[in-house]
RNA sequence: GCGGCUAUAGUUCAGUGGCAGAACGCCGCUCUGUGGCAGCGGAUGUCGUGGGUUCGAACCCCACUAGCCGCCCCA
């Protein structure tokens, strides 16, 4: 009979890998807490319309990558509703913000999330159909200071701190401003005009983009088209006074904090809701990501709340590709020191099993990590198992029970000592 | 969604038309309370799935599925 396997583009995360996942998430939580972020958990599926309106009907994500189905509820109210597994989390967070009237506090909200997202793409290294994002959003009514450049810089500085604390090497921050929605509109029109006479000479992909989304032409990697692209109008020339000032303020604050960045006029992000500041953190070749070298991306989305029918709520946020972060850490890290248990108890004979379990209970209650072997194991087998799992092995046999003195082998030193049972927990902590 | 490469033991892989293999790992014994070394023995398996060619297919052909690499796009 055919065995059932994890569906394409999904995978199991197993120990010891999950240790690294937990480490990454714990570090992120710790950093976020220091910057005043609280955790939000939104549903894994939402009304399809949320993403259509928020992320943008024309984006690849919405037009061809979503897992969407029609609900079959009994109630008239939910029958036939179109639902979608979330392809990203920002729209859900903003929906929740509006729904719970968080704007009414007049305060800035700082929210972070960690969770799976779903996109139906061709799987590849660093790209899965169920993938994890660690993200955060800063949002609030305009009078909360949510549109201040200070917040952009704070978020970027926080990301630099997080990557450094995780030990990511060689990261690079690419920064750009795509301007307000109006700036973008004008720039897009200018690009279309500039491309019209020359697009026939470009590759088919770029010809298509010139029509549908001219900003994306800037991203093109096609070497033959670079000359044309270099000659296109620059976004910087289309920024309004406000947008320009805002961008300058972001840069000034980053300079003050010593966060290095590279201005990249061609950095255009694909989601429709981005305005003004956009950014991306990449890692160098050889960091385990292949061509998917974007570790995280984000930007400002001053109009998103209104697109979803909410009050004017400027915001800025980012999403880290946790799968990619893990790949990078694994590729960059020298041999990961395997986490070992504090002790392995080897009962000598099945008659000692109950007593061995009792000893394990005592040690575990004392805060130690302990595994128990089985009395049927030969001593040699116990040694083999213990050496793989634990730093020390406790021999638990008749002699030890009657004398109350336990034999403890320390694998790192290769030494063996006798320790009284009352002192065992304390001794194992060293 | 498009193109290329790949799929054999738990793992890494060899085998390119004639008995299904190696290394590591696993289990047992030498060796019933002192292992890791060594020696001996053992199990590894629908050769990704289905079909075709052939006296005979892991090997050649077709389809499918999955993985990897690139494109598109994105985290």
Residue found under tokens 């009352």: A422
Please give the nucleotide, over all strands, whose C1' is closest to the CA of residue A270: B74
Residue A249 is predicted with a pLDDT of 97
User: Is residue A233 domain-resident?
Assistant: no
User: What Rg value do the Cα atoms of chain A yield, rounded?
Assistant: 28
Same domain, A312 and A351: no
For position A293, what pLDDT does the model report? 82
Tokens of A319: 């999403």
A389 neighbors A340 (Cβ within 8 angstroms): yes
Is there a single domain that holds both residue A257 and residue A393? no
Across the strands, what pairs with A124?
A: A127
Q: Are residues A273 and A411 in the same domain?
A: no
Q: How many CA within 13 A on the CB side of residue A390?
A: 25
Domain membership of residue A75 (yes or no) is yes
Looking at the structure, tell me whether residues A294 and A157 fall in a common domain: yes
| Residue A315 shares a structural domain with residue A367 | no
Q: What confidence score (pLDDT) does residue A333 get?
A: 72
Co-location of A254 and A389 in the same domain: no
- Of A311, A332, A353, which closes a domain? A332
CATH number of the domain enclosing A357: 3.40.50.800
The tokens for A299 are 């930007």
Cβ-based burial of A20 (10 A; exposed 0-12, middle 13-18, buried ≥19): middle
Nucleotides on chain B that have an atom closer than 7 A to a protein CB are 1-3, 26-29, 31-36, 46, 49, 65-75
Q: Are residues A54 and A146 in the same domain?
A: yes
Residue A86, in any domain of the structure: yes
Say whether the CB atom of A297 is under 7 angstroms from strand B. yes
CA of A2 to C1' of B64 (A): 15
Q: For residue A295, say whether its CB is under 7 Å from any atom of strand B.
A: yes
Which residues of A spanning 274-293 put their CB closer than 7 angstroms to strand B?
A: 280, 290-292
**pLDDT, averaged in runs of 10, over chain A (430 residues):** 76 85 96 98 96 88 89 71 94 96 93 96 88 96 95 98 94 94 89 85 79 80 78 90 96 97 86 89 82 88 95 96 90 64 92 93 94 89 88 92 92 88 90
Q: Which long-range contacts (CB under 8 A, 24 or more apart) does A385-389 make?
A: A385/A344, A386/A344, A386/A346, A386/A411, A387/A411, A389/A340, A389/A341, A389/A344
Q: Give the residue carrying structure tokens 């949002």.
A: A139
Nucleic chain B contacts, protein chain A, residues 395-424, CB cut-off 7 A? 395, 397-400, 407, 409, 411, 414, 416
* Residue with tokens 């998430």, as numbered in its chain: A25
Residue A11 domain-assigned (yes or no): no
Are residues A307 and A248 part of one domain? Answer: yes
Burial class (CB in 10 A: 0-12, 13-18, 19+), A1: exposed
Q: Which domain holds residue A322?
A: 17-180+240-332
A157 touches strand B (CB under 7 A): no
For residues A358 and A321, membership in a common domain is answered with no
DSSP code for A414: T
Tokens found for residue A35: 């910057």
Domain presence at residue A171 = yes
Instruction: Examine the domain organization and report whether A54 and A73 are in the same domain.
Output: yes
Overall number of domains in chain A: 2
The domain that contains A31 carries what CATH number?
Answer: 3.30.930.10
pLDDT (0 to 100) of residue A164: 96
**Inside any domain, residue A107:** yes
- Evaluate whether residue A223 is within a structural domain: no
Q: Is A79 exposed, middle or buried (0-12, 13-18, 19+ CB in 10 A)?
A: exposed
Helix (H) or strand (E) holding A250, with range, is helix A241-257
Q: Is the CB of A61 under 7 A from strand B?
A: yes
Write down which residue in A286, A308, A332 finishes a domain: A332
Q: What is d(CA A417, CA A206) in angstroms, rounded to the nearest whole number?
A: 73
A387 touches strand B (CB under 7 A): yes
Q: Which of residues 218-277 of A touch strand B (CB under 7 A)?
A: 219-222, 269-271
Q: Tell me, in Å, how far CA of A3 is from C1' of B52?
A: 26
As a whole number of angstroms, the distance between CA A346 and CA A353 comes to 9
User: A109 lies in a domain?
Assistant: yes
Q: Which two tokens stand for residue A213?
A: 């989304």
Burial label, A101 (beta-carbon count in 10 A; 0-12, 13-18, 19+): exposed
| Tokens at A154, concatenated | 């704070």
What phi, psi does A312 have (nearest 5°)? -60, 115
Q: Burial, A104: exposed, middle or buried (Cβ in 10 Å; 0-12, 13-18, 19+)?
A: exposed
Nearest to A42 by CA among A142, A131, A135: A135
Separation of CA A1 and C1' B19 in angstroms? 27
From the Cβ of A342, is strand B under 7 Å away?
no
Q: Is the CB of A116 under 7 A from strand B?
A: no
Distance in Å from B25's C1' to A143's CA comes to: 64
**Distance (Å, whole) CA A406 – CA A397:** 9
Identify the pLDDT of residue A246. 97
List CB contacts of A43: < 8 A, sequence separation 6 or more: A86, A92
Q: Among A280, A303, A332, which residue terminates a domain?
A: A332
Q: How far is the CA of A2 from the C1' of B54 (A)?
A: 28
Whether CB of A126 is under 7 Å from strand B: the answer is yes
Complex ipTM tops 0.95: no
How far is residue A341's CA from residue A389's CA, in Å, rounded to a whole number? 6
pLDDT at A23: 93
């Amino acid at each position: 009979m055919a065995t059932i396997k994890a569906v394409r583009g999904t995978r199991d995360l197993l120990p010891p890998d999950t240790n690294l996942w937990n480490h990454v998430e714990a570090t992120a939580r710790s950093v976020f807490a220091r910057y005043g972020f609280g955790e939000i958990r939104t549903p894994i599926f939402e009304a399809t319309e949320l993403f259509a309106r928020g992320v943008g009907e024309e984006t690849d994500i919405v037009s061809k990558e979503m897992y969407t189905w029609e609900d079959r509820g009994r109630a008239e109210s939910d029958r036939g509703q179109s639902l979608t597994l979330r392809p990203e989390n920002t729209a859900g967070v903003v929906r929740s913000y509006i729904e719970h009237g968080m704007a009414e506090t007049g305060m800035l909200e700082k929210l972070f999330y960690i969770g799976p997202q779903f996109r139906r793409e061709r799987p590849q290294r660093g790209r899965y159909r169920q993938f994890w994002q660690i993200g955060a959003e800063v949002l609030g009514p305009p009078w909360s200071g949510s549109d201040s450049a200070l917040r952009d810089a704070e978020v970027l500085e926080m990301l630099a701190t997080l990557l450094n604390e995780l030990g990511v090497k060689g990261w690079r921050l690419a920064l750009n401003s795509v301007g307000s929605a109006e700036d973008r509109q004008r720039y897009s029109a200018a690009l279309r005009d500039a491309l019209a006479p020359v697009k026939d000479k470009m590759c088919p992909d770029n010809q298509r983009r010139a029509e549908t989304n001219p900003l994306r032409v800037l991203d093109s990697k096609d070497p033959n088209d670079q000359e044309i692209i270099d000659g296109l109008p620059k976004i910087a020339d289309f920024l309004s006074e406000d947008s320009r000032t805002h961008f300058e303020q972001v840069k000034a604050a980053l300079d003050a904090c010593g966060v290095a960045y590279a201005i990249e006029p061609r950095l255009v992000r694909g989601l429709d809701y981005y305005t003004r500041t956009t950014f991306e953190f990449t890692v160098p070749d050889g960091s385990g990501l292949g061509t998917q070298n974007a570790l995280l991306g984000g930007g400002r989305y001053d109009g998103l709340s209104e697109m979803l029918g909410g009050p004017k709520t400027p915001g800025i946020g980012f999403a880290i590709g946790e799968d990619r972060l893990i790949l990078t850490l694994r590729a960059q890290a020298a041999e990961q020191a395997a986490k070992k248990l504090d002790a392995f108890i080897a009962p000598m004979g099945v008659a000692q099993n109950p007593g061995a379990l009792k000893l394990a209970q005592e040690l575990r209650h004392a805060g130690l990590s302990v595994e128990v072997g089985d009395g049927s194991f030969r001593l040699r087998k116990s040694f083999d198992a213990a050496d793989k799992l634990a730093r020390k092995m406790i021999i638990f046999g008749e002699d030890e029970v009657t004398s109350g003195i336990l034999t403890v082998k320390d694998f790192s030193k290769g030494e063996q000592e006798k320790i009284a049972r009352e002192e065992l927990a304390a001794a194992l902590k060293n």
